[in-house]
Structure 1
Amino acid sequence: MTNETPIVRLNHLRLDRGGRAVLRDIHLDVPRGSIVAVLGPSGSGKSTLLAALTGELAPAAGSVEVFGQAVPQGRRALLELRKGIGVLLQGNGLLTDLTAAENVALPLRAHTNLPDAVIRQLVLMKLHAVGLRAVADSYPRELSGGMARRVALARALALDPPLMIYDEPLTGLDPIASGVVMELVKRLNDTLGLTSIVVTHHVHETLPVADHAIVIANGGIVFSGTPAQLEASEDPFVRQFLNGEPDGPIAFDAAPRNSEAA
Protein backbone atom coordinates (compact mmCIF):
# COMPACT_ATOMS: atom_id res chain seq x y z
CA MET A 1 0.00 0.00 0.00
CA THR A 2 1.43 3.34 -1.08
CA ASN A 3 1.25 6.62 0.74
CA GLU A 4 -1.09 7.86 -1.98
CA THR A 5 -3.76 5.36 -0.99
CA PRO A 6 -6.51 7.25 0.87
CA ILE A 7 -6.92 6.10 4.46
CA VAL A 8 -10.69 6.15 3.86
CA ARG A 9 -12.44 5.75 0.50
CA LEU A 10 -16.20 5.81 -0.03
CA ASN A 11 -17.41 4.91 -3.51
CA HIS A 12 -21.03 5.04 -4.79
CA LEU A 13 -22.05 4.49 -1.15
CA ARG A 14 -25.71 4.14 -0.21
CA LEU A 15 -26.75 3.73 3.41
CA ASP A 16 -30.24 2.66 4.51
CA ARG A 17 -31.96 2.80 7.88
CA GLY A 18 -35.47 1.57 8.59
CA GLY A 19 -36.01 0.56 4.98
CA ARG A 20 -35.24 3.96 3.49
CA ALA A 21 -32.11 5.51 1.99
CA VAL A 22 -30.50 8.00 4.37
CA LEU A 23 -27.49 8.71 2.15
CA ARG A 24 -26.98 7.86 -1.52
CA ASP A 25 -24.15 8.00 -4.07
CA ILE A 26 -21.56 9.20 -1.56
CA HIS A 27 -18.00 9.61 -2.84
CA LEU A 28 -15.16 10.62 -0.51
CA ASP A 29 -11.40 10.13 -0.35
CA VAL A 30 -9.65 11.03 2.92
CA PRO A 31 -5.90 11.56 2.35
CA ARG A 32 -3.46 10.46 5.02
CA GLY A 33 -2.50 13.19 7.46
CA SER A 34 -5.51 15.36 6.69
CA ILE A 35 -8.36 16.69 8.80
CA VAL A 36 -11.70 16.34 7.02
CA ALA A 37 -14.80 18.08 8.35
CA VAL A 38 -18.12 16.32 7.68
CA LEU A 39 -20.71 19.05 8.12
CA GLY A 40 -24.47 19.13 7.94
CA PRO A 41 -27.64 19.93 9.86
CA SER A 42 -29.06 17.58 12.49
CA GLY A 43 -30.76 14.60 10.87
CA SER A 44 -28.74 14.87 7.65
CA GLY A 45 -27.06 11.47 8.06
CA LYS A 46 -23.66 12.39 9.55
CA SER A 47 -23.85 9.78 12.31
CA THR A 48 -25.12 7.22 9.79
CA LEU A 49 -21.96 7.85 7.77
CA LEU A 50 -19.86 7.39 10.91
CA ALA A 51 -21.58 4.04 11.58
CA ALA A 52 -20.53 2.86 8.11
CA LEU A 53 -16.90 3.87 8.73
CA THR A 54 -16.73 1.81 11.91
CA GLY A 55 -18.55 -1.19 10.43
CA GLU A 56 -21.70 -0.84 12.55
CA LEU A 57 -23.80 -0.31 9.42
CA ALA A 58 -23.22 -2.30 6.22
CA PRO A 59 -23.61 -0.48 2.90
CA ALA A 60 -26.85 -1.03 0.99
CA ALA A 61 -24.79 -0.34 -2.16
CA GLY A 62 -21.28 0.79 -3.00
CA SER A 63 -18.21 0.33 -0.82
CA VAL A 64 -16.42 1.57 2.30
CA GLU A 65 -12.64 1.08 2.41
CA VAL A 66 -10.52 1.85 5.46
CA PHE A 67 -6.73 1.38 5.45
CA GLY A 68 -6.96 0.22 1.84
CA GLN A 69 -9.37 -2.65 2.46
CA ALA A 70 -13.12 -3.09 2.49
CA VAL A 71 -14.61 -2.83 6.00
CA PRO A 72 -15.12 -6.48 6.98
CA GLN A 73 -18.41 -7.95 8.21
CA GLY A 74 -16.93 -10.76 10.31
CA ARG A 75 -16.81 -9.93 14.01
CA ARG A 76 -13.16 -10.84 14.61
CA ALA A 77 -11.86 -9.01 11.54
CA LEU A 78 -14.00 -6.00 12.40
CA LEU A 79 -12.64 -5.86 15.95
CA GLU A 80 -9.10 -5.95 14.53
CA LEU A 81 -9.89 -3.08 12.17
CA ARG A 82 -11.43 -1.01 14.96
CA LYS A 83 -8.18 -1.15 16.95
CA GLY A 84 -6.81 1.23 14.33
CA ILE A 85 -9.72 3.67 14.63
CA GLY A 86 -10.06 5.98 17.61
CA VAL A 87 -13.57 7.33 18.15
CA LEU A 88 -14.43 10.29 20.35
CA LEU A 89 -18.14 9.98 21.16
CA GLN A 90 -20.33 13.04 21.63
CA GLY A 91 -21.31 11.99 25.16
CA ASN A 92 -17.70 11.21 26.20
CA GLY A 93 -18.69 7.72 27.37
CA LEU A 94 -16.53 7.97 30.49
CA LEU A 95 -17.35 5.51 33.27
CA THR A 96 -18.23 7.62 36.28
CA ASP A 97 -16.96 5.17 38.90
CA LEU A 98 -13.46 5.09 37.37
CA THR A 99 -10.79 7.79 37.59
CA ALA A 100 -9.55 9.60 34.49
CA ALA A 101 -6.50 7.34 34.40
CA GLU A 102 -8.60 4.18 34.78
CA ASN A 103 -10.87 5.31 31.94
CA VAL A 104 -7.90 5.89 29.64
CA ALA A 105 -6.47 2.50 30.61
CA LEU A 106 -9.58 0.57 29.51
CA PRO A 107 -8.57 0.00 25.84
CA LEU A 108 -5.05 -0.99 26.90
CA ARG A 109 -6.38 -3.54 29.40
CA ALA A 110 -8.89 -4.90 26.87
CA HIS A 111 -6.53 -5.26 23.89
CA THR A 112 -3.01 -5.76 25.30
CA ASN A 113 -1.24 -7.91 27.86
CA LEU A 114 1.02 -5.15 29.10
CA PRO A 115 2.03 -5.06 32.79
CA ASP A 116 0.22 -2.60 35.04
CA ALA A 117 3.31 -0.40 35.45
CA VAL A 118 3.67 -0.01 31.68
CA ILE A 119 -0.05 0.72 31.27
CA ARG A 120 0.19 3.40 33.97
CA GLN A 121 3.06 5.10 32.13
CA LEU A 122 1.24 4.96 28.80
CA VAL A 123 -1.89 6.40 30.40
CA LEU A 124 0.08 9.29 31.89
CA MET A 125 1.63 9.95 28.47
CA LYS A 126 -1.82 10.11 26.85
CA LEU A 127 -3.16 12.42 29.56
CA HIS A 128 -0.08 14.60 29.16
CA ALA A 129 -0.74 14.79 25.40
CA VAL A 130 -4.13 16.39 26.12
CA GLY A 131 -2.76 18.58 28.91
CA LEU A 132 -4.41 16.71 31.78
CA ARG A 133 -1.75 14.61 33.49
CA ALA A 134 -2.55 16.42 36.75
CA VAL A 135 -6.11 15.03 36.86
CA ALA A 136 -5.13 11.36 36.44
CA ASP A 137 -6.72 10.37 39.76
CA SER A 138 -9.81 12.58 39.49
CA TYR A 139 -13.27 11.22 38.70
CA PRO A 140 -15.36 12.47 35.74
CA ARG A 141 -17.76 14.30 38.09
CA GLU A 142 -14.81 16.39 39.32
CA LEU A 143 -13.94 17.59 35.80
CA SER A 144 -15.38 20.38 33.67
CA GLY A 145 -17.09 19.47 30.41
CA GLY A 146 -14.04 20.43 28.38
CA MET A 147 -11.70 18.44 30.63
CA ALA A 148 -13.93 15.36 30.46
CA ARG A 149 -13.94 15.64 26.65
CA ARG A 150 -10.13 15.74 26.64
CA VAL A 151 -9.94 12.66 28.92
CA ALA A 152 -12.21 10.87 26.46
CA LEU A 153 -9.84 11.97 23.68
CA ALA A 154 -6.87 10.55 25.61
CA ARG A 155 -8.76 7.24 25.88
CA ALA A 156 -9.50 7.25 22.14
CA LEU A 157 -5.75 7.69 21.53
CA ALA A 158 -4.72 4.93 23.94
CA LEU A 159 -3.94 2.31 21.26
CA ASP A 160 -2.20 4.83 18.96
CA PRO A 161 -4.80 4.58 16.17
CA PRO A 162 -3.74 6.08 12.81
CA LEU A 163 -7.33 7.22 12.17
CA MET A 164 -9.39 9.39 14.54
CA ILE A 165 -13.12 9.99 14.17
CA TYR A 166 -14.72 12.77 16.19
CA ASP A 167 -18.50 12.54 16.57
CA GLU A 168 -19.82 16.04 17.41
CA PRO A 169 -16.79 16.79 19.63
CA LEU A 170 -18.04 20.25 20.65
CA THR A 171 -21.53 19.32 21.88
CA GLY A 172 -22.24 20.99 25.22
CA LEU A 173 -18.97 22.92 25.36
CA ASP A 174 -18.63 26.67 25.81
CA PRO A 175 -16.73 28.69 23.16
CA ILE A 176 -13.43 28.64 25.08
CA ALA A 177 -13.53 24.86 25.67
CA SER A 178 -14.55 24.37 22.02
CA GLY A 179 -11.50 26.33 20.89
CA VAL A 180 -9.22 24.30 23.17
CA VAL A 181 -10.58 20.98 21.88
CA MET A 182 -10.32 21.94 18.18
CA GLU A 183 -6.79 23.29 18.62
CA LEU A 184 -5.93 20.01 20.34
CA VAL A 185 -7.39 18.04 17.42
CA LYS A 186 -5.12 19.98 15.06
CA ARG A 187 -2.01 19.66 17.23
CA LEU A 188 -2.44 15.92 17.82
CA ASN A 189 -3.10 15.33 14.13
CA ASP A 190 0.17 17.07 13.25
CA THR A 191 2.43 15.78 16.03
CA LEU A 192 1.20 12.16 16.05
CA GLY A 193 0.82 11.83 12.27
CA LEU A 194 -2.90 11.07 12.51
CA THR A 195 -5.72 11.39 10.01
CA SER A 196 -8.91 12.89 11.44
CA ILE A 197 -12.56 12.97 10.40
CA VAL A 198 -14.61 15.49 12.37
CA VAL A 199 -18.37 14.91 12.15
CA THR A 200 -20.06 18.09 13.32
CA HIS A 201 -22.58 20.87 12.78
CA HIS A 202 -20.24 23.39 14.46
CA VAL A 203 -19.00 24.98 11.25
CA HIS A 204 -17.14 28.09 12.37
CA GLU A 205 -15.17 26.33 15.13
CA THR A 206 -14.17 23.41 12.88
CA LEU A 207 -13.24 25.03 9.54
CA PRO A 208 -10.08 26.78 10.84
CA VAL A 209 -8.40 23.41 11.58
CA ALA A 210 -9.77 21.45 8.59
CA ASP A 211 -7.96 20.73 5.31
CA HIS A 212 -11.12 19.63 3.49
CA ALA A 213 -14.84 19.95 4.15
CA ILE A 214 -17.95 18.24 2.89
CA VAL A 215 -21.53 19.28 3.54
CA ILE A 216 -24.25 16.62 3.71
CA ALA A 217 -27.88 17.57 3.10
CA ASN A 218 -30.98 16.04 1.50
CA GLY A 219 -29.43 12.57 1.37
CA GLY A 220 -26.16 13.41 -0.35
CA ILE A 221 -23.02 15.54 -0.50
CA VAL A 222 -23.93 19.06 -1.61
CA PHE A 223 -20.40 20.46 -1.26
CA SER A 224 -16.85 19.08 -1.24
CA GLY A 225 -13.79 21.33 -1.18
CA THR A 226 -11.44 23.41 0.97
CA PRO A 227 -12.72 25.50 3.88
CA ALA A 228 -11.96 28.65 1.87
CA GLN A 229 -14.03 27.37 -1.05
CA LEU A 230 -16.84 26.53 1.35
CA GLU A 231 -16.86 30.02 2.85
CA ALA A 232 -16.89 31.55 -0.64
CA SER A 233 -19.54 29.23 -2.08
CA GLU A 234 -22.71 30.76 -3.48
CA ASP A 235 -24.47 27.40 -3.64
CA PRO A 236 -27.94 27.82 -2.07
CA PHE A 237 -27.58 24.60 -0.02
CA VAL A 238 -24.28 25.81 1.42
CA ARG A 239 -25.48 29.36 2.07
CA GLN A 240 -28.61 28.14 3.87
CA PHE A 241 -26.57 25.87 6.12
CA LEU A 242 -23.76 28.35 6.87
CA ASN A 243 -26.17 31.19 7.55
CA GLY A 244 -28.64 29.11 9.56
CA GLU A 245 -31.58 30.09 7.39
CA PRO A 246 -34.86 28.21 8.08
CA ASP A 247 -36.07 28.48 4.47
CA GLY A 248 -34.18 27.11 1.51
CA PRO A 249 -33.34 23.95 -0.45
CA ILE A 250 -32.46 21.91 2.67
CA ALA A 251 -35.76 20.33 3.66
CA PHE A 252 -35.71 19.90 7.44
CA ASP A 253 -39.27 18.60 7.79
CA ALA A 254 -39.99 17.05 4.40
CA ALA A 255 -39.98 13.51 5.79
CA PRO A 256 -40.47 11.86 9.19
CA ARG A 257 -37.34 12.10 11.27
CA ASN A 258 -35.37 8.96 11.99
CA SER A 259 -33.48 9.56 15.23
CA GLU A 260 -30.72 7.22 14.12
CA ALA A 261 -30.02 9.34 11.06
CA ALA A 262 -28.85 12.30 13.11
Structure 2
Amino acid sequence: MSDDTPTPAVRLRDVRLDRGGRTVLDGIDFEAPRGGIVAVLGPSGSGKSTLLAALTGELPPAAGTVEVLGQVVPTRQRELLELRKHVGVLLQGNGLLTDLTAAENVALPLRTHARLPKPVLDRLVAMKLGAVGLHAAANLYPRELSGGMARRVALARALALDPPLMIYDEPLTGLDPIAAGVIMRLIARLNASLGMTSIIVSHHVHETLPISDRAIVIANGGIVFSGTPAELERSEDPLIRQFLAGSPDGPIRFDGALGAEAA
Protein backbone atom coordinates (compact mmCIF):
# COMPACT_ATOMS: atom_id res chain seq x y z
CA MET A 1 0.00 0.00 0.00
CA SER A 2 1.57 3.30 -1.10
CA ASP A 3 1.81 6.33 1.11
CA ASP A 4 0.25 9.30 -0.69
CA THR A 5 1.20 11.79 2.03
CA PRO A 6 3.17 14.65 0.41
CA THR A 7 6.81 14.92 1.41
CA PRO A 8 7.18 17.81 3.87
CA ALA A 9 8.73 20.98 2.50
CA VAL A 10 11.21 20.83 5.38
CA ARG A 11 12.13 17.93 7.64
CA LEU A 12 14.79 17.82 10.35
CA ARG A 13 15.68 14.54 12.05
CA ASP A 14 17.68 14.46 15.30
CA VAL A 15 19.73 17.46 14.18
CA ARG A 16 22.61 18.95 16.15
CA LEU A 17 23.96 22.34 15.15
CA ASP A 18 27.32 23.65 16.34
CA ARG A 19 28.88 27.09 16.04
CA GLY A 20 32.29 28.20 17.23
CA GLY A 21 33.02 24.90 18.89
CA ARG A 22 29.85 24.82 20.97
CA THR A 23 26.50 23.12 20.47
CA VAL A 24 23.72 25.67 19.87
CA LEU A 25 20.84 23.26 19.18
CA ASP A 26 20.54 19.54 19.73
CA GLY A 27 17.91 16.84 19.17
CA ILE A 28 15.95 18.98 16.70
CA ASP A 29 13.03 17.17 15.04
CA PHE A 30 10.32 18.98 13.13
CA GLU A 31 8.47 19.08 9.83
CA ALA A 32 6.96 21.91 7.80
CA PRO A 33 4.01 20.55 5.78
CA ARG A 34 3.70 21.78 2.22
CA GLY A 35 1.36 24.72 1.76
CA GLY A 36 1.38 25.82 5.39
CA ILE A 37 2.92 28.57 7.47
CA VAL A 38 5.18 27.50 10.32
CA ALA A 39 6.32 29.93 12.99
CA VAL A 40 9.75 29.29 14.51
CA LEU A 41 9.69 31.27 17.72
CA GLY A 42 12.10 31.86 20.56
CA PRO A 43 13.86 34.52 22.59
CA SER A 44 16.98 36.30 21.36
CA GLY A 45 20.00 34.02 21.51
CA SER A 46 17.92 30.83 21.41
CA GLY A 47 19.29 29.56 18.10
CA LYS A 48 16.67 30.64 15.56
CA SER A 49 19.24 32.12 13.17
CA THR A 50 21.38 29.00 13.54
CA LEU A 51 18.40 26.90 12.49
CA LEU A 52 17.82 29.17 9.50
CA ALA A 53 21.47 28.76 8.48
CA ALA A 54 20.96 24.98 8.46
CA LEU A 55 17.87 25.28 6.25
CA THR A 56 19.74 27.35 3.66
CA GLY A 57 22.83 25.14 3.72
CA GLU A 58 25.08 27.81 5.22
CA LEU A 59 25.65 25.60 8.29
CA PRO A 60 25.87 21.81 7.77
CA PRO A 61 24.52 19.83 10.72
CA ALA A 62 27.03 18.26 13.10
CA ALA A 63 24.62 15.33 13.39
CA GLY A 64 21.26 14.29 11.93
CA THR A 65 19.72 15.21 8.56
CA VAL A 66 18.19 18.39 7.16
CA GLU A 67 15.86 17.88 4.20
CA VAL A 68 14.48 20.73 2.11
CA LEU A 69 11.97 20.20 -0.71
CA GLY A 70 12.44 16.44 -0.59
CA GLN A 71 16.23 16.28 -0.61
CA VAL A 72 18.98 16.34 1.95
CA VAL A 73 20.56 19.80 1.86
CA PRO A 74 23.71 19.26 -0.21
CA THR A 75 27.18 20.33 0.82
CA ARG A 76 28.62 20.58 -2.71
CA GLN A 77 28.44 24.19 -3.84
CA ARG A 78 26.90 23.63 -7.28
CA GLU A 79 24.12 21.41 -5.92
CA LEU A 80 23.48 23.81 -3.06
CA LEU A 81 23.15 26.76 -5.44
CA GLU A 82 20.63 24.79 -7.48
CA LEU A 83 18.53 24.09 -4.38
CA ARG A 84 18.68 27.72 -3.30
CA LYS A 85 16.96 28.76 -6.55
CA HIS A 86 13.85 27.14 -5.10
CA VAL A 87 14.09 28.75 -1.67
CA GLY A 88 13.27 32.42 -1.19
CA VAL A 89 14.75 34.17 1.84
CA LEU A 90 13.67 37.52 3.22
CA LEU A 91 16.57 38.84 5.28
CA GLN A 92 16.30 41.01 8.40
CA GLY A 93 18.18 43.87 6.79
CA ASN A 94 16.43 43.52 3.41
CA GLY A 95 19.76 43.29 1.56
CA LEU A 96 18.71 45.75 -1.13
CA LEU A 97 21.52 47.19 -3.26
CA THR A 98 21.48 50.94 -2.66
CA ASP A 99 22.63 51.93 -6.15
CA LEU A 100 19.80 50.00 -7.85
CA THR A 101 16.14 51.02 -8.11
CA ALA A 102 13.39 48.87 -6.63
CA ALA A 103 12.73 47.35 -10.05
CA GLU A 104 16.43 46.66 -10.66
CA ASN A 105 16.72 44.98 -7.25
CA VAL A 106 13.78 42.71 -8.05
CA ALA A 107 15.22 41.96 -11.50
CA LEU A 108 18.59 40.90 -10.08
CA PRO A 109 17.81 37.19 -9.42
CA LEU A 110 16.02 36.94 -12.75
CA ARG A 111 19.04 38.35 -14.59
CA THR A 112 21.32 36.00 -12.68
CA HIS A 113 19.40 32.76 -13.15
CA ALA A 114 17.24 33.19 -16.26
CA ARG A 115 17.95 34.31 -19.81
CA LEU A 116 14.87 36.37 -20.59
CA PRO A 117 14.13 38.97 -23.27
CA LYS A 118 13.91 42.46 -21.75
CA PRO A 119 10.14 42.86 -22.33
CA VAL A 120 9.50 39.57 -20.50
CA LEU A 121 11.88 40.52 -17.69
CA ASP A 122 10.24 43.93 -17.27
CA ARG A 123 6.79 42.35 -17.19
CA LEU A 124 7.81 39.84 -14.53
CA VAL A 125 9.35 42.57 -12.37
CA ALA A 126 6.18 44.65 -12.68
CA MET A 127 4.12 41.62 -11.64
CA LYS A 128 6.27 40.96 -8.58
CA LEU A 129 6.14 44.59 -7.47
CA GLY A 130 2.41 44.61 -8.10
CA ALA A 131 2.00 41.51 -5.92
CA VAL A 132 3.40 43.45 -2.94
CA GLY A 133 1.50 46.64 -3.78
CA LEU A 134 4.49 48.65 -4.99
CA HIS A 135 4.08 48.93 -8.75
CA ALA A 136 4.37 52.74 -8.46
CA ALA A 137 7.68 52.49 -6.59
CA ALA A 138 9.56 50.75 -9.40
CA ASN A 139 11.94 53.65 -10.08
CA LEU A 140 12.63 54.60 -6.47
CA TYR A 141 15.96 53.87 -4.79
CA PRO A 142 16.14 52.14 -1.38
CA ARG A 143 16.95 55.46 0.35
CA GLU A 144 13.65 56.83 -0.96
CA LEU A 145 11.59 53.99 0.53
CA SER A 146 10.05 53.75 3.98
CA GLY A 147 10.99 50.76 6.12
CA GLY A 148 7.82 48.91 5.23
CA MET A 149 8.20 49.65 1.52
CA ALA A 150 11.82 48.46 1.53
CA ARG A 151 10.73 45.23 3.23
CA ARG A 152 8.11 44.68 0.53
CA VAL A 153 10.63 45.30 -2.26
CA ALA A 154 12.91 42.72 -0.62
CA LEU A 155 9.95 40.34 -0.50
CA ALA A 156 9.22 40.90 -4.20
CA ARG A 157 12.87 40.11 -4.97
CA ALA A 158 12.73 36.93 -2.84
CA LEU A 159 9.68 35.85 -4.84
CA ALA A 160 11.22 36.63 -8.24
CA LEU A 161 11.99 32.99 -9.10
CA ASP A 162 8.63 31.69 -7.79
CA PRO A 163 10.15 29.61 -4.98
CA PRO A 164 7.95 26.87 -3.49
CA LEU A 165 9.52 27.59 -0.08
CA MET A 166 9.87 31.00 1.57
CA ILE A 167 11.90 31.63 4.73
CA TYR A 168 11.36 34.89 6.60
CA ASP A 169 14.13 35.95 8.98
CA GLU A 170 12.59 38.31 11.56
CA PRO A 171 10.38 40.03 8.95
CA LEU A 172 9.06 42.64 11.41
CA THR A 173 12.40 43.97 12.68
CA GLY A 174 12.46 47.77 12.61
CA LEU A 175 8.86 48.18 11.44
CA ASP A 176 6.13 50.22 13.11
CA PRO A 177 2.90 48.38 14.08
CA ILE A 178 1.03 49.41 10.93
CA ALA A 179 3.83 48.34 8.57
CA ALA A 180 4.18 45.11 10.56
CA GLY A 181 0.49 44.38 10.10
CA VAL A 182 0.77 45.01 6.36
CA ILE A 183 3.73 42.63 6.06
CA MET A 184 2.04 39.82 8.00
CA ARG A 185 -1.16 40.05 5.95
CA LEU A 186 0.93 40.10 2.79
CA ILE A 187 2.84 36.97 3.85
CA ALA A 188 -0.44 35.13 4.52
CA ARG A 189 -2.01 36.25 1.24
CA LEU A 190 1.01 35.36 -0.89
CA ASN A 191 1.39 31.98 0.78
CA ALA A 192 -2.23 31.11 -0.04
CA SER A 193 -2.37 32.58 -3.53
CA LEU A 194 0.99 31.18 -4.70
CA GLY A 195 0.66 27.79 -2.98
CA MET A 196 3.96 28.18 -1.16
CA THR A 197 5.24 26.89 2.15
CA SER A 198 6.43 29.59 4.54
CA ILE A 199 8.68 29.44 7.59
CA ILE A 200 8.70 32.57 9.71
CA VAL A 201 11.64 32.88 12.10
CA SER A 202 10.63 35.47 14.67
CA HIS A 203 10.41 36.58 18.27
CA HIS A 204 7.27 38.62 17.50
CA VAL A 205 4.87 36.05 18.90
CA HIS A 206 1.57 37.89 18.90
CA GLU A 207 1.98 39.19 15.34
CA THR A 208 3.13 35.86 13.89
CA LEU A 209 0.80 33.32 15.48
CA PRO A 210 -2.48 34.58 13.91
CA ILE A 211 -1.31 33.73 10.37
CA SER A 212 0.50 30.48 11.27
CA ASP A 213 -0.75 26.90 10.97
CA ARG A 214 1.91 25.46 13.26
CA ALA A 215 4.47 26.78 15.70
CA ILE A 216 7.63 25.58 17.33
CA VAL A 217 9.39 27.30 20.21
CA ILE A 218 13.16 27.07 20.63
CA ALA A 219 14.76 27.63 24.01
CA ASN A 220 17.54 26.18 26.16
CA GLY A 221 19.21 24.49 23.20
CA GLY A 222 16.24 22.60 21.77
CA ILE A 223 12.58 22.59 20.78
CA VAL A 224 10.42 23.06 23.86
CA PHE A 225 7.06 23.19 22.04
CA SER A 226 5.63 21.96 18.74
CA GLY A 227 1.95 22.22 17.86
CA THR A 228 -0.78 24.58 16.72
CA PRO A 229 -0.92 28.25 17.76
CA ALA A 230 -4.04 27.50 19.81
CA GLU A 231 -2.21 24.73 21.68
CA LEU A 232 0.71 27.06 22.30
CA GLU A 233 -1.50 29.74 23.82
CA ARG A 234 -3.27 27.17 26.01
CA SER A 235 -0.03 25.66 27.29
CA GLU A 236 0.50 25.74 31.06
CA ASP A 237 4.18 24.84 30.75
CA PRO A 238 6.07 27.40 32.90
CA LEU A 239 8.71 27.79 30.19
CA ILE A 240 6.07 28.57 27.54
CA ARG A 241 4.22 30.94 29.88
CA GLN A 242 7.50 32.78 30.56
CA PHE A 243 8.19 33.16 26.86
CA LEU A 244 4.68 34.33 25.94
CA ALA A 245 4.61 36.79 28.83
CA GLY A 246 8.11 38.07 28.16
CA SER A 247 9.14 37.56 31.76
CA PRO A 248 12.88 37.85 32.58
CA ASP A 249 12.52 35.30 35.39
CA GLY A 250 11.78 31.64 34.73
CA PRO A 251 13.14 28.42 33.26
CA ILE A 252 14.36 30.00 30.01
CA ARG A 253 18.02 30.91 30.41
CA PHE A 254 19.09 34.33 29.20
CA ASP A 255 22.56 33.90 27.72
CA GLY A 256 22.95 37.27 26.02
CA ALA A 257 25.74 38.29 28.37
CA LEU A 258 27.65 35.15 27.44
CA GLY A 259 27.86 36.07 23.77
CA ALA A 260 24.98 33.97 22.42
CA GLU A 261 23.83 34.69 18.90
CA ALA A 262 21.60 37.68 18.50
CA ALA A 263 18.52 36.03 17.08
| TM-score normalised by the chain length of structure 2 | 0.97
Q: Distance in 1 between matches of 2:217 and 2:257?
A: 19
Residues 54-203 of structure 1 aligned to structure 2 (within 5 Å): 54-203=56-205
Q: Distance in 2 between matches of 1:177 and 1:110?
A: 30
Measured after TM superposition, the shift of residue 3 of structure 1 is 5.3
Task: Give structure 1 stretches of 5+ with no counterpart.
Answer: none
Matched, 1:246 2:248: yes
Instruction: Answer yes or no: is the 8 Å Cα contact 2:25–2:222 preserved in 1.
Output: yes
Cα-to-partner distance string for 1:169-188 (whole Å, 9 max, x where unaligned):
00000001000000000000
Measured after TM superposition, the shift of residue 102 of structure 1 is 0.2
Aligned residues: 261
Match of 1:8 in 2: 10
Q: Distance in 2 between matches of 1:32 and 1:255?
A: 38
Q: Distance in 2 between matches of 1:151 and 1:3?
A: 35
Instruction: Answer yes or no: is the 8 Å Cα contact 2:45–2:256 preserved in 1.
Output: no
Q: Distance in 2 between matches of 1:122 and 1:41?
A: 38
Task: Give structure 2 stretches of 5+ with no counterpart.
Answer: none
Q: Give 3-state SS (helix, strand or coil) of 1:184's partner.
A: helix
Instruction: Answer yes or no: is the 8 Å Cα contact 1:3–1:32 preserved in 2.
Output: no
Measured after TM superposition, the shift of residue 253 of structure 1 is 3.0
Q: Give 3-state SS (helix, strand or coil) of 2:185's partner.
A: helix
Match of 2:37 in 1: 35
Q: Distance in 1 between matches of 2:243 and 2:82?
A: 37
Equivalent residue for 1:224, pick from 202, 226, 230: 226
Match of 1:207 in 2: 209
Given residue 216 of structure 2, which amino acid in structure 1 is its aligned partner? I
Q: Distance in 2 between matches of 1:255 and 1:225?
A: 31
Q: Distance in 2 between matches of 1:186 and 1:2?
A: 26
Q: Distance in 1 between matches of 2:206 and 2:21?
A: 34
Measured after TM superposition, the shift of residue 2 of structure 1 is 5.4
Percent identical among aligned pairs is: 75
Cα-to-partner distance string for 1:109-135 (whole Å, 9 max, x where unaligned):
010111122111100000000010010
After TM superposition, which residue ranges in structure 1, 4 or more long, deviate above 3 angstroms? none
Q: Distance in 1 between matches of 2:243 and 2:168?
A: 20
Shifted more, 115-124 versus 155-164: the winner is: 115-124
Instruction: Answer yes or no: is the 8 Å Cα contact 2:15–2:26 preserved in 1.
Output: yes
Given residue 19 of structure 1, which amino acid in structure 2 is its aligned partner? G
Q: Give 3-state SS (helix, strand or coil) of 1:173's partner.
A: coil
Match of 1:46 in 2: 48
Given residue 64 of structure 1, which amino acid in structure 2 is its aligned partner? V
Matched, 1:22 2:13: no
Cα-to-partner distance string for 1:26-72 (whole Å, 9 max, x where unaligned):
00111000000000001100000000000000000000001111000
Match of 2:236 in 1: 234
Q: Give 3-state SS (helix, strand or coil) of 2:152's partner.
A: helix
- CA separation of 1:107/1:14 partners in 2, compared to 1, >3 Å: closer, same or farther? same
